[in-house]
Structure formats: structure tokens, C-alpha cells
Amino acid sequence: MLSPSVPSLSLILRGIATSARCDINCHRTSIARIGRLTYTRTYPVVLVQSDGSTINIRYHEPRKIIKVLEYIVKIML
């Protein structure tokens, strides 16, 4: 009696295991956020210096404006 029930039990378990599978395709990223701390590309950003002049740079985070403080410029010189 045990031998006929064992194959049917394995078929049931196999069906449960395959139905819980998560398909990863191209539509997954439109739903879920990518959990990265750093960005893989660079973004165009305006760097504003302490004298008011601006420089267009590429930065690793998407920002519009970055201000350079005066004491940082003095440390770099």
C-alpha cells in the first residue's frame, strides 16, 4: 500500500515546488527597486564654486547642483 502513495506524494510536492518559483524577466525591474548603494553610471551635474562660477561635471549620483564650500577649496590649495 505504501508504494502507490509514494509516487503520488512526490508528484504533489513537485507541483508545489514548481508553482512557487519566481520568474525573473525584463518586467521585474519596473516593479522592484534596485537595491544598490552606488550608481553604475554618471549624471550631468552643475558644480557651483565659492566665487559663483559654474562647471558642468559628471557625478555618480543624480543631483542638479553641487555647491563647493570655501573652506574645502582652501584645504585643497
pLDDT higher than threshold 60 for residue 19: no
With a threshold of 0.75, does the pTM exceed it? no
Q: Residue 73 — very low, low, confident or very high, per pLDDT cuts 50/70/90?
A: low
Q: Which residue has cell 553610471? A: 41
Task: Answer yes or no: is pLDDT of 67 > 80.
Answer: yes
- Element containing residue 43 per DSSP (H, E): strand 43-48
pLDDT reported for residue 40:
72
For residue 59, list its beta bridge partners: 43
Calculate ∠ Cα 7-8-11, nearest 5°: 90
pLDDT reading at 51 higher than 80: yes
